[in-house]
Chain A
Amino acid sequence: MNARSLLARGLTASGETAHADRDGLRRVVALSGAALVIGMMVPASRAMLEATMTRHMLVQLPLMLVAGSAMACGIPASVRARVAPFNAGGAAGMLLALLLSACVMVPRVLDAAVASVSADLMKGLCLIIAGAALQLSWQAAGQLGQAFAVGNACWMLGAVGLMLREAPTRICASYLEGDQQRAGLGLVLVAALTGGTWLWGIRREWWLVMPKAQAPENAARGEGALLG
């Protein structure tokens, strides 16, 4: 999640790099994303990545999300401009990303993905769309929107992780208990790491997320900064 957010920031930020260079870089990143997806859908790597629940949930799913974000870097500015009005404040994109990434963590989806290629493709599509939606929305969301998305992702990952860890029985037909508990612990750690990294990233601007209530002029300025 952090790698992705950094990627999204780095690539959409208007840096000192020349336009042509940036377009070239975007194309390379988008193609790498596509290559990553294809590489992961090759039968051998698919079998390897889905052999355990831990790899499935902690390696394959995040990589698909990253690949989706990377591919979205290739979306030309004209298309972005046309999409943006429907994605004011990145709200629609963030919502879509959260819903889709929650769906792929449903235990039935993991089992179905192991058993059938079509379900696996559907799962991959969900994650690619989620990753792309995040890439298109991250900047627009501003820190308040980002706080909302990161907070939601954290509790969702943490809750799923704890559920997997504490469940008295196997949740997925395809995976064993020990694997399930490792995956659960891994998700809790990812949740903590995601939240922690994000907080570290905003350590200098935390007050933007929490405007001071007792100073109306400050709050107003803070809000203006967020919306602008």
Chain B
Amino acid sequence: MRDGAWRTMLGLGGALSLGVAAAWWATAGFRAITYDGARAAAIAEAPVQVPDVPLQTANGEVLRPFAAGDATRDGAVTIVDFISTRCPTVCVAQGEVFRQLQDSIAARGLTGRVQLLSVSFDPDDDSGYLRGFEETRRLQAQRWRIARVDGAERETLLQRFGIVVVRDPQGGWRHNAALHVVDARGALVRILAVEEGVEALRVATVLSAERLVRR
């Protein structure tokens, strides 16, 4: 009888251990229950280097914003978001956050130290759409750029940032929106929710100040 109870307890203990192990796997080490949560937690713990892919602006200029120590960036910290210029929902919210951040960067004298970059993942976004976005959102080129990424580099970039793009039935795109802070050496160091614009700017400011001190 006592022997039986011992085995039952062992069985229950085994089941519980296996269940807890599965939960650990499912939640990426008890860190998150969503893909986005896990992605943000992983990046905060271990930043990843963003591949140095070329991006095209509306006027055909090629940006390489993720090259370590790239001249076009002057060692600035970049807050990156991913958009489609015709996405009616979450991209509008992102655009509004970026517009406010652009104002804050100007007001706090952070121009050249912190910059904003909207990357269009939409293959249909041609120069005309990018220019339209620049005009309606009143982008100030020294603070906020928009560029698109093409072909195989698009997949590489989206994958490294952890962006999942889904086609919706209306023919548009949906994606997991967020604010991505990339330091001056092209490392993705933080991922924040769209509504955490203030925090993103704080992180970027601190990073850019660290850069200045190191100089």
Contacts and interface: CB of A to CB of B under 8 A. Distances in A.
B166 A174 contact: yes
B26 interface: yes
A86 B10 contact: yes
B12 A171 contact: no
B97 interface: no
A91 B35 CA distance: 32
Contact of A99 (B22, B37, B168): B22
A198 interface: no
B40 to A, nearest CB: 12
A222 interface: no
Given A108-B33, A108-B38, A109-B26, A86 B14 contact: yes
Interface string A77-117: 00000000111110111011011101110111101100100
Contacts of B8: 85-89, 91-92
Interface of A: 85-89, 91-93, 95-96, 98-100, 102-104, 106-109, 111-112, 115, 122, 126, 129, 133, 170-176, 178
A108 B19 contact: no
Interface string B167-200: 0110000111000000000000000000000000
Given A86-B10, A88-B8, A107-B34, 9 more contacts: A95-B12, A103-B22, A107-B35, A111-B34, A115-B164, A122-B25, A170-B176, A173-B166, A176-B174
A197 to B, nearest CB: 25
B33 A107 contact: yes
Given A103-B19, A173-B176, A176-B174, A92 B35 contact: no
A202 B150 CA distance: 61
A96 B166 contact: no
Nearest to A110: B35
B4 A88 contact: yes
Contacts of A174: 35, 164, 166
A122 B12 CA distance: 22
A96 B4 contact: no
Interface residues of A, dominant DSSP: helix
Interface of B is mostly: helix
A108 B15 contact: no
Contact of A86 (B11, B26, B33): B11
Interface in B63-104: none
Nearest to A104: B26
Nearest to B16: A95
Contacts of A104: 26
A137 B128 CA distance: 64
Contact of B15 (A93, A172, A176): A93
Given A86-B7, A126-B22, A176-B166, A95 B15 contact: yes
Nearest to A169: B90
A104 B38 CA distance: 16
B121 to A, nearest CB: 13
Contacts of B4: 85, 88
Contacts of B10: 86
Contacts of A115: 164
Nearest to B37: A108
Contacts of A173: 34-36, 164, 166, 175-176
